[in-house]
Structure formats: C-alpha cells, structure tokens
Structure 1
Amino acid sequence: MIRTKGRACAGKRRHDTEEQAEDHRDRLIANGAVRLAAYRCRNRACRGWHVGHLPKPRI
C-alpha cells in the first residue's frame, strides 16, 4: 500500500483512468524518473488515479 502521509491527493495530477495514469508514468520514466507506480486514489472526493513513488526497498 502506498501511504500519502495525510496529503490525500493535494498537488497530484488526477487521471480519469488507470490507462491514462500508466501512460503518464511511462512518460515520466522515459524522462529519467524511477520507481513510479499508478494507483487508485482513496480520497472519496477524487476517486481518480495518480502516479507516485514506490516505497524504498527494505534491506
């Protein structure tokens, strides 16, 4: 699970579909971003899709 640390979806780009979010993630990765994932927003007012960083791997 990706936690938003109380930020909900403030400051994040909203996508209507999972496919749109994944396309956006792919463009960001092509421009050098790493460890990104598309996920469904839990905010009831939004209910869209966002792109965010994955948690750091545990060692």
Structure 2
Amino acid sequence: MIRTKGRACTGKRRHDTEEQAEEHRRRLIANGAVRLTAYRCRNQACRGWHVGHLPKPRH
C-alpha cells in the first residue's frame, strides 16, 4: 500500500539518485505506464528519489 498523506513515502520505492529514479521511470514507461515523473522526496527521514504519477490535466 502507498500512503502519501502528510508527505509520507511509506511503500514507495526509494532511489538514491535522480539517475536511478529516471531509469526506473523509463522502464515503467516501456512496460506501458504513462504520465510518470521522478521527484525528490520531501520527507526529511527519506530524502531519496521516487517515481510517481503526474497530476491529471485540468480541462
């Protein structure tokens, strides 16, 4: 389960570098995932990189 309330990153895959997160994002996209981004975690206990979905576009 992924919990993001309060900026927690419990259950998300942590990457040490932006490059590792970008490689993971590219693999997910190659397997059919869409609208993903790599981002720096704001959780002070983590401070790693994660891959997540972009917000849905507003119309």
Alignment TM-score, normalising by the size of structure 2: 0.89
Q: Please, which runs of 5 or more residues in structure 2 have no aligned partner?
A: none
Q: Distance in 1 between matches of 2:7 and 2:48?
A: 15
Q: Which amino acid aligns with 1:6?
A: G
Q: CA RMSD in A?
A: 1.1
| Aligned residue runs from structure 1 range 28-47, under 5 A | 28-47=28-47
**Higher RCO (CA 8 Å, separation ≥ 6 residues):** 1
Structure 1 stretches (4+) deviating beyond 6 angstroms?
none
**Aligned-partner SS, 2:5:** coil
Give, in angstroms, the shift of residue 22 of structure 1: 0.2
Q: Distance in 1 between matches of 2:19 and 2:47?
A: 15
Give, in angstroms, the shift of residue 32 of structure 1: 0.3
Q: Distance in 2 between matches of 1:36 and 1:6?
A: 21
Q: Distance in 2 between matches of 1:8 and 1:54?
A: 17
Q: Distance in 2 between matches of 1:53 and 1:5?
A: 15
Which structure: greater helix fraction?
2
Q: Please, which runs of 5 or more residues in structure 1 have no aligned partner?
A: none
